[in-house]
Amino acid sequence: MSQRATVAPGMIGFLSRRRGWWRLMLLGVILLIFGSYISPLRSYLEKSGTIQREQAATEELRREHDRLQQEKESLQDSRYLEHVARKDLGMIKPGEQPYVVKDLNNDEDPGAIDSQPAGEASLGERIMNSLGSLIP
């Protein structure tokens, strides 16, 4: 004779309700596990974006460094150094006569060049030059 376990009719409803609670608890555990991955994932994405921005800034700095290194090497050449000194610093060689070209956008004679170095003409000479440029 085999022994069969019989379940009372009131127990069937209890067990079926209990299975529903297990499913609900399993769903809650799955949601908790999923929720625990959200914060690290968000942090990972933020750090990834930061890394990309920093890499772009680093690449820009490398290009600037290369450009400055090339200019440093160019400054070893005396012809380039002279060009920079004349153009950017307004320097002249000893014995050269500097000329100042005033306001080329003016309606005056574009060929008029001040032949005296700035600050060396007397007040009277500057007045006479100004009046001379007004008379045709």
Instruction: For the chain, give the mean pLDDT.
Output: 78
> Is 92 part of any domain?
no
Expressed as residue numbers, the domain containing 103 is 97-136
**Is the pLDDT higher at 37 or at 121?**
37
Looking at the structure of the chain, the number of domains it has is 1
pLDDT for res 9? 58
> Is 12 part of any domain?
no
> Is 25 part of any domain?
no
119 pLDDT above the threshold of 80: no
**Is the pLDDT higher at 33 or at 123?**
33
What is the arithmetic mean of pLDDT over 112-133? 64
> Is 108 part of any domain?
yes
How far is the C-alpha of 118 from the C-alpha of 131, rounded, in Å? 18
